[in-house]
Amino acid sequence: MFDFTLTEEQRALQTLVREFVAREVKPRVAALDAEPDPAKSVPWDIIRAANQVGLRNLSLRKDFGGGGQDCVTLGMCVEELAAGDLGISVIFAQNWKIMQMLQSAGTEEQLRRFLIPLRDDPIGVMAVAWSEPESGSDMAWPCLDPKGGPKLACVREGEYAILNGMKVFMSNGPIAHLYMVFARTNREVPFPEGMTGFIVPRDLPGVANLPGFTIGRIFDKIGERLASNSELIFENCRVPMANMLREWNKAYTQVRPGFRMSNAYAGASTLGVGWAAFEKALEYAKIRVQGAMPIIRHANIAIKLAEMYTELKAAQMMVRRGCWQVDHPEHFDPMLARSIKPFCSEVTMKVSLAALNMHGGNGAMKDVGAEKLVRDAIMFLHSDGINDSINRGTGDLLGRTPFVR
């Protein structure tokens, strides 16, 4: 059996993150969220401040000078950051997740060549290049038709791999200094059997840039505005074969375990928004007077708050169970893993709308902050895969994977 009671170390880290959010995140969020140019919403000061207190490298191995934290602890930190701002949590969740993926799939030489400079860069974060204009959620339930899936082309020329194509919607895309890029290296087979991964640096201190790799459009989003998403463009980009992740055509197998933590961290990110909405509604209900009493004393409001709290606690336990099973793969349940993000995002959407409505007319006013939480909640209804049949694992329902009770 397992126990999700936080250890003293985890509680200390939770306190550190909460104090960081109160001090560095919340005072800056409104102005950055309101910035009309998404390129100017990047929270560089917050990233630097996170580096100073040791948060940026929480998932880096301890022997490399990082925090070496497990997935349960990291998921807790993602949730706490998201309670301050969803975009901030996404920046660091992506960095922690991809750093973990690289430490699993890369060689020791690659890790030292790339992660040490990233460690020493006070604003260094990572991004992963998966989604494309014609390929997104089909990677969660792999398409077995060779015509489907990612199409970023890759051919080998001697000691180089030549990349041509585009990736889209990449979190941290325009700000990352190190990328894990996945390209199609065999178009005759389904993409899980014909993809190869590469490490691609960009403006990483002491490491040369690769010609032919540029940042395209930066997307202007409804919510999660502090986390930047962009196109990545590859035009005859020559990547040294020394940057390849272990084996040709084996990338999907190598990084598939990374999807497990991705689902859990995505759930934690959207869950933090739900907690922020609940806490805002609770505080407002204590001071808003209607019918000669605070509205929290009205039965319908008290019942609604209790329902919001109950659903959020259920989602939190699901996230922590999902993180725990990443650290304990012998107990991994794929159906649970796929359910985390859809469940948490839909709970958060419901809670944030309830919080907005509880504020009455004030909820529509931007200076109150309830409408921002609704905009943020919307983002994870499709981020990390859509919430419909593909991300819920329709293939599993058809018998590909047994249910675990």
Residues 240 and 106 in one domain: no
CATH assignment at residue 307 = 1.20.140.10
Is residue 387 assigned to a domain?
yes
Residues 277 and 378 in one domain: yes
Residues 379 and 264 in one domain: yes
Which DSSP category does 25 fall into? I
Looking at the structure of the chain, the number of domains it has is 3
Residues 271 and 379 in one domain: yes
Q: Are 195 and 150 in contact (CB under 8 A)?
A: yes
Is residue 99 assigned to a domain?
yes
CATH assignment at residue 104 = 1.10.540.10
Is residue 156 assigned to a domain?
yes
Tell me the HSE value of 148 on the side-chain side, using a 13 A CA sphere. Answer: 12
Residues 199 and 145 in one domain: yes
Is residue 403 assigned to a domain?
no
Is residue 215 assigned to a domain?
yes
Radius of gyration of the chain (CA): 21
Residues 98 and 150 in one domain: no
* Whole-number pLDDT of residue 396: 45
* Whole-number pLDDT of residue 394: 43
Q: Of 94, 120, 146, at which residue does a domain stop?
A: 120
Q: Of 97, 120, 143, at which residue does a domain stop?
A: 120
Question: Per-residue pLDDT for the chain (405 aa), expressed as one digit of tens each?
Answer: 567 889 999 999 999 999 999 999 999 999 999 999 999 999 999 999 999 999 999 999 999 999 999 999 999 999 999 999 999 999 999 999 999 999 999 999 999 999 999 999 999 999 999 899 988 777 666 678 888 889 999 999 999 999 999 999 999 999 999 999 999 999 999 988 999 999 999 999 999 999 999 999 999 999 999 999 999 999 999 999 999 998 999 998 887 777 788 889 999 999 999 999 999 999 999 999 999 999 999 999 999 999 999 999 999 999 999 999 999 989 989 889 889 999 999 999 999 999 999 999 999 999 999 999 999 999 999 888 788 744 444 444 444 444 444
DSSP β-ladder status, 293-294 and 229-240? unpaired
Q: Of 234, 250, 266, at which residue does a domain stop?
A: 250
Residues 152 and 70 in one domain: no
Residues 136 and 111 in one domain: no
Residues 201 and 324 in one domain: no
Residues 379 and 286 in one domain: yes
Q: What are the helix (H) ranges across 288-388?
A: 299-327, 334-358, 370-379
CATH assignment at residue 166 = 2.40.110.10
Q: What share of the chain is helix, strand, coil (3-state, %, to 5)?
A: 55, 15, 30
Is residue 243 assigned to a domain?
yes
DSSP β-ladder status, 126-129 and 178-184? parallel
pTM above 0.85, yes or no: yes
pLDDT in tens, 287-312: 999 999 999 999 999 999 999 999 99
Residues 363 and 289 in one domain: yes
pLDDT in tens, 45-104: 999 999 999 999 999 999 999 999 999 999 999 999 999 999 999 999 999 999 999 999
Residues 210 and 162 in one domain: yes
CB atoms within 10 A of CB 4: 14
Instruction: Write out the residue range of the structural domain in which residue 19 sits.
Output: 8-120
Is residue 316 assigned to a domain?
yes
* Whole-number pLDDT of residue 399: 43
* Whole-number pLDDT of residue 201: 98
Backbone angles phi, psi at 126, to 5 degrees: -115, 160
Is residue 184 assigned to a domain?
yes
